[in-house]
Amino acid sequence: MTQNRTHTCNELRMEHVGQKVKLSGWMENLREVGQNLGFVILRDFYGTTQVVIETEEMMNVVHALNKETVISVEGTVRERSSKNKNLATGEIEVVPEKIEVLGKCRYNELPFQINRSREADETMRLKYRYLDLRNPEVKKNIILRCNVVSALRAAMTEHGFLEITTPILTASSPEGARDYLVPARKHPGKFYALPQAPQQFKQLLMASGFDRYFQIAPCFRDEDARGDRSPGEFYQLDMEMSFATQEDVFAVLEDVLPPIFAKFGTYNTASSAPFKRIGFMEAMETYGSDKPDLRIDLMVQDATDLLAGCGFGPFEGNTVKAVVVSGFEGTRKQIDKLCADVEVQAGEKAYWFRLDEKGEVVGGIAKFVAEKKDELIGKLGLTPGCFVGLTAGKKSAAQKTAGVLRNKLGQMCPNHFDKERYEFCWIVDFPMYEIGEESGELEFCHNPFSMPNGGAEVLDKAIAGEVDPLSITAFQYDLVCNGVELSSGAVRNHDPEIMIKAFQLVRLGEDDVKSKFPAMYNAFCYGAPPHAGIAPGVDRMVMLLAGEESIREIIPFPMNKNAQDLMMGAPSFVEQKQLDELHIAVTEKEEE
């Protein structure tokens, strides 16, 4: 092994009894059971070994040490009289002859118990992340991440992809999120941007004649955190293929991902190829979401025509959606909490009623819909005992609220939620354009570099006013697993003339395209092959494989929800000299 150890703390077995060994690690615990009798648990990266203290000399050494002090132990392996079958090294122990301190822990009290760090406040965990990572339960997620990344690299290489790294310092580009800007010291007033994705570079590689590219790419977006998204930076399996169609991209991922989920996943069951394909509009109508969790067997139904004239105010003039659940026996308290949770998440209210065992409409808004009982039974397929959750509003709002309601009802009903499996699906045919919530004007819905279904012809008709731009779909697709969007991809727009027409609809002319995307526009003018790609999120993938609810559990050094690194103290103030060199002045925000 090394100078400081002959074996690891997970290596010794009965065949080593009688051997002289040297172990090194952290003193996890000292349990004293007599004047000169005690047991030290020694922990390293690999596991733990029990060290038995039987002399006054050794007891004096360990008694003076704080937990988490790094020590080396030289001694003899012997068989334990009281074996621990739950421990890999539970049949042996080490009787020390020499204990040396390698790294002293100078604090009597730890911020939290190492082996119970996941129970501690997250702020403390992030501030003392180096202690949190000593917990084997936390560490195993990072090991999983390393193994998954290694497997992804091997699989992509086997499929003929070359790993090529792309720049970190680049130009600001309208990718859909806020850029992280880096001031250019040698060019006052100008800024680099950290890449939101290697989108343009990977397309330029296709124009350069590289047939298949991939990398485990760092991406930087100034976005707010949530359970499945880390603020600041994240990593994705970025890939692109020349002379490829949507089907070619699907075939690669459907071949690469299932073996990795089968080998590393918490659950034993996963979708096999080909994954289910669902159009965007169908997904919104049927599941109320463009990232449906297919482990839930509930569907969203339309009840607009049936209930719009029932006299219930929120339904009047609005789209009404229904989620029917059989076998749901929630109490009034549980239903009230369900509706409150839906409103918090979706921003819109949910309503309900039941069909009791006698076939009568009861509870919630029953008095408004009771007269339509027979129509409800026929239209929604109700049987005695069914619970009906309802949402209303503009079509998109009613759909999305129904999607939230569907998920929460599914999670409350084990008979409708087959949790322990991985269910993949492709969401296809996304709208090319949408009306921006802030601008109120036409904007790209997904990726501005996607090829529209119908090519130049449909764009010409939209420009001429013959086709509604909102009706144009694109060769854009998302890969979804268990209600989590793993990745977005598209068949790219490799024709500069089509690119100009696509941007013209969002009020950007040819000069704008040339100035904003000079390299890509010019490269395509020299002849570019048709190409397509996708970029599954590595962080989200590992989160699913580990069965974690928060993405921070699988990132070695995550930021908190406010994009702060509590351990390193970032972001931080810098010296005025640094600001002067960068020609930057920090001003206070004026009070409104």
The answer on pLDDT for 186 being more than 60 is yes
Mean pLDDT throughout 321-326? 96
* pLDDT for the residue 87: 94
* Rounded to 5°, angle at Cα 152 from 148 and 153: 120
The answer on pLDDT for 176 being more than 70 is no
> Who has greater pLDDT, 443 or 231?
443
> Under CATH, what is the fold of the domain 14-103?
OB fold (Dihydrolipoamide Acetyltransferase, E2P) (2.40.50)
The answer on pLDDT for 341 being more than 60 is yes
- % residues pLDDT > 70 (the chain): 98
Mean pLDDT throughout 572-581? 93
* pLDDT for the residue 487: 92
Q: Lowest-pLDDT range, 194-203, 556-565, 580-589?
A: 580-589
pLDDT category of residue 223 using cuts at 50, 70 and 90:
confident
CATH hierarchy code of domain 296-416: 3.30.1360.30
The answer on pLDDT for 174 being more than 70 is no
Mean pLDDT throughout 235-245? 97
pLDDT category of residue 88 using cuts at 50, 70 and 90:
very high
The answer on pLDDT for 173 being more than 80 is no
* pLDDT for the residue 359: 87
* pLDDT for the residue 515: 87
What is the residue-averaged pLDDT of the chain? Answer: 93
pLDDT category of residue 2 using cuts at 50, 70 and 90:
low
Q: Lowest-pLDDT range, 28-32, 218-222, 223-227, 389-393?
A: 223-227
Mean pLDDT throughout 23-47? 95
**Does residue 240 contact residue 124 with C-beta atoms inside 8 Å?**
no
* pLDDT for the residue 62: 95
pLDDT category of residue 224 using cuts at 50, 70 and 90:
confident
CB atoms within 10 A of CB 225: 18
Q: Where in the chain is the domain with CATH 3.30.1360.30?
A: 296-416
- According to DSSP, residue 3 is labeled T
pLDDT category of residue 175 using cuts at 50, 70 and 90:
low
The whole-angstrom separation of Cα 180 and Cα 341 is 34
- Give Cα 319 to chain centroid, integer Å: 32
pLDDT category of residue 261 using cuts at 50, 70 and 90:
very high
The answer on pLDDT for 1 being more than 60 is no
pLDDT category of residue 494 using cuts at 50, 70 and 90:
very high
The answer on pLDDT for 124 being more than 90 is yes
Q: Where in the chain is the domain with CATH 2.40.50.140?
A: 14-103
* pLDDT for the residue 446: 77
* pLDDT for the residue 295: 97
**Phi and psi at residue 351, in whole multiples of 5°?**
-130, 170
Contacts of 231 (CB under 8 A, 6+ apart): 222, 223, 224, 225, 559, 561, 562, 563
- Residue 229 CB burial class (10 angstroms; 0-12, 13-18, ≥19): middle
3-state secondary structure (DSSP) of residue 167: coil
Mean pLDDT throughout 192-206? 94
Q: Lowest-pLDDT range, 225-234, 324-333, 428-437, 466-475?
A: 225-234
Mean pLDDT throughout 226-242? 88
The whole-angstrom separation of Cα 292 and Cα 30 is 50
The whole-angstrom separation of Cα 227 and Cα 219 is 18
Name all contacts of 277-281 with Cβ < 8 Å and 24+ positions apart.
277/425, 277/426, 277/428, 278/425, 278/426, 278/427, 278/428, 279/427, 279/428, 279/429, 280/427, 280/428, 280/429, 280/430, 280/431, 280/473, 281/429
Contacts of 281 (CB under 8 A, 6+ apart): 429
Inter-CA distances, 554 with 207, 351, 549, Å: 36, 37, 10
- % residues pLDDT > 90 (the chain): 86
pLDDT category of residue 225 using cuts at 50, 70 and 90:
confident
Is this structure's pTM higher than 0.85? yes
